[in-house]
Amino acid sequence: MISVTETARLGFRALLRNKTRAFLTALGIIIGVAAVICMVAIGEGAKARIQNMLEATGTNVLIVLSGSTSQGGMRGGFGSQPTLTWEDLRAIQNEAPSVRTAAPLSRMSTPVISETATWTTTVHGTTPEYFDIRDWAIVTGTGLTQADESGASRSAVVGKTVASKLFGEGVNPIGQSIRIRESPYTIVGMLDEKGQSGMGSDQDDAVFVPMATFGARIQGGLGKFIRGQIYLSAISPQATTTVEQEVTKLLREKHRIPEGEEDDFSVRSIAEMAGAMSATTTTLSALLASIALVSLIVGGIGVMNIMLVSVTERTREIGIRLAVGAQPGDILAQFLVEALTLAAIGGIIGVALGIGAGKLLSAQFGWSLVIRPDIVVLALLVSGLVGVVFGLYPARKAARLDPIDALRYE
């Protein structure tokens, strides 16, 4: 019986005699493993990004959107028709037990001008409760106050992106003056960095002013209607479903919507939205990984074909080894080692290629990338299994050759 070391040495030597053919044989496995690693890494990165968005937005945050328009058979999305009123906001604050706090939010994209620069950003009108709902801290200065809201003051709170664009990196913007639609505003606070949202927008590229000021000087009000959305904070992350039910029931009563008719508003939970996005990403990642696994199977078929060719080419060699005392198990082990080595080398190269391709794509398109060690190990194990499974038939065929017939083979 030949030792394992000797069997491995013979297998490696046989592969080295045909380096190009060995590489081309392993190419299918290389591509399959690389595709699996790359797709799963990008998918996990997308899920991590969604989780970061959820944490940045708040696990107990809900958004109430106004109704949709309907004209000439065409319907707009939620928020296209003002249906939420200031009375609705007060009712939510006072009559929904599971709501911790609520705040309106209106927005408008417009240029903001400092003494040295102009930057087009999104200006928001809101109340002080909004920053509590979003768990958004002020790192420098102060936030908006109830006095700012009641007095419609021209105070502004800016995100870090706006501060750096208007005044330069590292410059303290507190006390600086900016102009929004021809009116001067004084910056009283700068918000902590939030980063990108789940949709890829920069949350720090924003300016916040009192809601009363926004309605009077920037976009104009709509009388009793709120121009925008209502942000809600539940008393706990577990209470978001209860809040959704309470607010829906309350607003249907306020809007006198008969039973069976469609709501003229929409209540959406950030956690549910993030969960739906995460589920979609998981499904897409699984689909792409499944498609990539097909490449592994194709690579395994390639290994089997080449090993069958190798058995045919080396029939006399096999006959000689059997004639001088080698056992069928030695022949089986040698060809299995060759198939396993091809698959293992292909797997290792595929892992390196997949990680490299993932990093290149993430840098090119700004995607997140999360390399899971368990997926890397699993990909290597699967590639090795493919080599053994698809190499078994050629190995058994070689081991079952009759020594006399093999020696006569031309």
Query: What is the per-residue DSSP string for 61-77?
Result: EEEEEEB--EETTEEPP
| Residue 208 scores a pLDDT above 60 | yes
Of the spans 180-189, 197-206, 311-320, which averages the highest pLDDT?
180-189
**Can you tell me the mean pLDDT for 157-164?**
95
Give the model's confidence band at 317: pLDDT under 50 very low, under 70 low, under 90 confident, else very high: confident
Mean pLDDT of the chain: 82
- The residue with greater pLDDT, 49 or 387, is 387
| Residue 26 scores a pLDDT above 70 | yes
Rounded Cα gap, residues 311 and 314, in angstroms? 5
Beta strand ranges found along 56-147 (DSSP E) = 61-66, 70-71, 74-75, 99-113, 118-126, 138-141
Lowest mean pLDDT among 16-20, 59-63, 86-90, 148-152: 16-20
Q: What was the pLDDT predicted at 70?
A: 47
Of the candidates 220, 285, 232, the residue with the CA atom closest to the CA atom of residue 63: 232
Position 325: which residue type? G
Q: What was the pLDDT predicted at 12?
A: 64
* Residues 75-133: tens digit of each pLDDT: 444 445 788 999 999 999 999 999 999 999 999 999 999 998 999 999 999 999 999 99
Give the model's confidence band at 150: pLDDT under 50 very low, under 70 low, under 90 confident, else very high: very high
Q: What was the pLDDT predicted at 406?
A: 63
**Can you tell me the mean pLDDT for 250-271?**
87
- The residue with greater pLDDT, 19 or 31, is 31
* Buried residues in 316-354 as b, exposed as e (16+ CB within 10 A): eebbebbeeebeeebbbbbbbbbbbbbbbbbbbbbbebb
Q: What was the pLDDT predicted at 410?
A: 56
Residue whose structure tokens are 């060809």 = 335
201: its two tokens: 């927008």
* Buried residues in 373-402 as b, exposed as e (16+ CB within 10 A): eebbeebbebbbebbbebbbebbebbbebe
Q: What was the pLDDT predicted at 48?
A: 73
Cα separations in angstroms, 357 against 36, 286, 288: 11, 18, 15
User: To 10 degrees, the CA torsion angle through 86, 89, 93, 99?
Assistant: -170
Give the model's confidence band at 277: pLDDT under 50 very low, under 70 low, under 90 confident, else very high: low
Burial zone of 73 (CB within 10 Å; 0-12 exposed, 13-18 middle, 19+ buried): exposed
Lowest mean pLDDT among 6-10, 62-66, 198-202: 6-10
Q: What was the pLDDT predicted at 64?
A: 93
Cα separations in angstroms, 380 against 176, 299, 310, 341, 343: 58, 14, 24, 12, 9
**Can you tell me the mean pLDDT for 388-401?**
81
| Residue 198 scores a pLDDT above 70 | no
Of the candidates 84, 90, 174, the residue with the CA atom closest to the CA atom of residue 127: 90
Position 222: which residue type? L
CA 404 to chain centre: 62
Lowest mean pLDDT among 68-72, 311-315, 383-387: 68-72
Q: What was the pLDDT predicted at 76?
A: 47
Of the spans 86-100, 185-199, 266-280, 285-299, which averages the highest pLDDT?
86-100
